[in-house]
Amino acid sequence: MRRLVGIIQSITPARLLTLAGVCFGFVLSRLLKRPILFSSPSFLTVEPVCGCNLQCPECPVGTNELVRPRGQISLETVDSIIEHLGTKAIWVNLYFQGEPLLHPNLPEIVAHFSKRKIFTSISTNGLLLTAEMVDGLLEAKLKEIIFSIDGASEEEYLAYRKGGSFSKVVGNIQMVAAKRKAMGLLFPRIVFQSLITSANEGNLKNIRRFAKSVGADAVELKTLNLSHAADSNNLLPSKSKFSRYSNLGKKQSRLSCFRLWSNTVIAWDGRMALCCMDKEVDAICGEVFSYPINSWNSVQLNGIRARLLTGVDIPRICSRCSLHTL
Ligand code: SF4
Ligand code: SF4
């Protein structure tokens, strides 16, 4: 309900027209098997920080396997993104490869998007939240905060969130809920997000109950994205319905990926990634590829769209993608 209200508040005629153009362009592209774009993307992902305070075993940031430089976005880059894409975008995810609360100006970044009435969402491990930071985010009109917590007990939590503290995250969820209530606000929507792992797969009902009891508005259960085959033994749930890998290897029937028409992902240094699976930000052309140049409708990106539409020479990243079945 809160999410729907937030989205409705972000809708303008220009944004509605953009979304229609995104959908129509995608449908037409699939029919004609060549990329056609009528608009800029409706959905943005902007990376405030590349870097983290935790060491989660399947995250390239947590394991320090990510090769690209760490850093934090400047307010100039944020303003440049808003200037080029802000009037058409409905939604921005302010997270990608890292912990957004590490950015000292996060409330200011949120406020810049909120001023343009764009729905703002952050996803956090929740450990660095302070009372002052919560006040800043509420004042900045943050619309959604997703807590990655992965279970309803310290044991389930620590199976994945190495270096974290379950009780601290729970306390911080309660703090956000209490402050929101005290200020009589509808937002931010509080999401309790849990990866489904071998440690919690038998306890999903309890996770839902627990999330409600600590003040969350919604629960999101996510399948694990594995980077290390060895971890499939100790982290992957035993039931195949909880694994995003159960469909891999089956005949792939659906061509193309809507994300390449609807979403853009921009790293902290202003470079554009292909999508959220492009963690090294090197899938489009392997070099600097920044806004504000017209990257969205570039020869390079349209080349990738065409490869997906025709099914000929599908990029390696897409052929291994567990997010979309091609
Ligand atoms: S909290 Fe998020 S960004 Fe940090 S190591 Fe874990 S998965 Fe990676
Ligand atoms: S990697 Fe996956 S999500 Fe990204 S463009 Fe390819 S198919 Fe789409």
Tell me the mean pLDDT in the region 85-90.
94
Nearest-atom number in ligand 1 for the CA of 62 is: 5
Nearest-atom number in ligand 1 for the CA of 97 is: 3
The percentage of residues in the chain with a pLDDT greater than 70, rounded to a whole number, is 90
Q: How far apart are CA 204 and CA 132, in angstroms?
A: 33
Nearest-atom number in ligand 1 for the CA of 160 is: 6
- Residue 318: CB within 6 Å of ligand 2? yes
pLDDT at 297: 86
Name the amino acid, one letter, at 45: T
Structural domain boundaries, residue 46: 1-318
Select from 56, 123, 228 the residue to mutate for testing ligand 1; criterion: most ligand atoms less than 8 Å from CB.
56
Least confident stretch, 60-64, 94-98, 102-106, 169-173: 60-64
Name the amino acid, one letter, at 262: S
- Residue 317: CB within 6 Å of ligand 2? yes
pLDDT at 50: 98
Instruction: Confirm whether 132 is domain-assigned.
Output: yes
Instruction: Confirm whether 228 is domain-assigned.
Output: yes
pLDDT tens for each residue of 112-166? 999 999 999 999 999 999 999 999 999 999 999 999 999 999 999 999 998 899 9
Could you say which ligand is closest to the alpha carbon of residue 70? 1
Q: How many helices (H) and strands (E) does the chain have?
A: 12, 10
- Residue 274: CB within 6 Å of ligand 2? yes
pLDDT at 106: 98
Least confident stretch, 161-165, 207-211, 286-290, 303-307: 286-290
pLDDT for 104 beyond 80: yes
Burial class (CB in 10 A: 0-12, 13-18, 19+), 181: exposed
pLDDT for 227 beyond 80: no
- Residue 301: CB within 6 Å of ligand 2? no
pLDDT at 240: 72
pLDDT at 290: 61
pLDDT at 96: 97
Could you say which ligand is closest to the alpha carbon of residue 279? 2
**CATH, residue 283:** 3.20.20.70
Instruction: Confirm whether 324 is domain-assigned.
Output: no
How does the average pLDDT of the chain come out, rounded? 90
| 25 closest CA partner among 296, 272, 295 | 296
Confidence of residue 12 (pLDDT cuts 50, 70, 90): very high
pLDDT at 256: 79
- Residue 89: CB within 6 Å of ligand 2? no
- Residue 176: CB within 6 Å of ligand 2? no
Tell me the mean pLDDT in the region 187-215.
94
Name the amino acid, one letter, at 41: P
pLDDT tens for each residue of 255-289? 679 999 999 999 999 889 999 999 999 888 644 45
pLDDT for 70 beyond 60: yes
Tell me the mean pLDDT in the region 178-197.
96
| 159 closest CA partner among 240, 245, 237 | 237
How far is the centre of ligand 1, averaged over its atoms, from the C-alpha of 222 (Å)? 14
Select from 54, 149, 197, 268 the residue to mutate for testing ligand 1; criterion: most ligand atoms less than 8 Å from CB.
54
The percentage of residues in the chain with a pLDDT greater than 90, rounded to a whole number, is 73
What DSSP string runs through 105-167? Answer: THHHHHHHHHHTT-EEEEEE-SSS--HHHHHHHHHTT--EEEEE--SSSHHHHHTTSTT--HH
- Residue 243: CB within 6 Å of ligand 1? no
How far is the centre of ligand 2, averaged over its atoms, from the C-alpha of 324 (Å)? 6
Total structural domains within the chain: 1
Confidence of residue 293 (pLDDT cuts 50, 70, 90): low
Instruction: Confirm whether 259 is domain-assigned.
Output: yes
Tell me the mean pLDDT in the region 10-37.
96
pLDDT at 23: 97
| 100 closest CA partner among 69, 137, 66, 65 | 137
